[in-house]
A and B are shown apart, each in its own frame.
Chain A
Amino acid sequence: MEKKEFQAKILLYIVLKSVEEVSKVDEDLQEELEDYDGSKIQWKIGNFTGYLYIKDKKAIGVIDEEINNPDVTIIIPNPQKALDILTGKIDGVSAYMNGDLVIEGSLPVAMAFNDISEIIMDYLEPIIPE
């Protein structure tokens, strides 16, 4: 496996597990998740996949699997771009406008992830360098 792809996979794993953990304790995130109860967000990055399932104000993040009937699939073919987007170096909206990030399905649900990731990034400051 290419190093950048591996790094992108691990970074997605960090994000998915962080949403899981933070959703257990952060009321702001729980309020955000409540608006998207039942939503399924699928990622396809390079050659790997992962998803987030939102239920009862909590999130479950799974790597290396696809979920049935996702509400939205976020596709980032280039692992380096995925790294830049997931670390916040490139804004998701800009990436979408540039074609580096493709969205299939519900744009509002995809945008919800933008709000979710803003909350998560505050928690991840100790481990994700700027």
Chain B
Amino acid sequence: MNYLYGFYKECEMKYDIDVFEACSTVFEYLPFGHIIRNKVFVIHGGLCTEPNMNINELQQINRIQQPTEDDPLNSILWGDPVNDSGANDIEREGQLLFGPDHTESFLKENNLELIIRSHQLVNEGYKVQHNGKCITVFSAPNYVGKVGNDGSIAFVKFDDQGNLLPVEFKVFKAMPIPFDFQPMIYADLSILK
């Protein structure tokens, strides 16, 4: 991905390839999930294809690697929520999808209340699905300088007793793109042709 969409060339032009290698290593060391006050589960993509995968099992896997095909890490980084149920028919055409019943059972099994994820472009900046249990937050407004979408961020708040308050969203428009840094100048899509 990084070759196609620019990060490799960006590192090469700004510093050198060693910086790219170093950054890639850091990416692999990054944790893939966060839990806020034992109530809110934040991941980039979505839930695993195995139903009822729980937090303790996820803590055991080795994250310092590129995920292979059957890896739960795949769904965590690439999964997308859909609105129709069907926990068994999760993998469709190579996409990793999870439905509202899946969200429900995961949250219940792990004593959580809410999932926040990103990964998908949302025109309004944020999206609430699965009866309010699955939130998508996207913070790159006017994506690649063309889409014209809004960006948003989510404020996750708790009261004094530690209860989760309703999530607030702030939506914002894109700042002007700096002239020398148009999107995709470091991308090389020739490999697709």
Are chains A and B native binding partners rather than an unrelated pairing? no
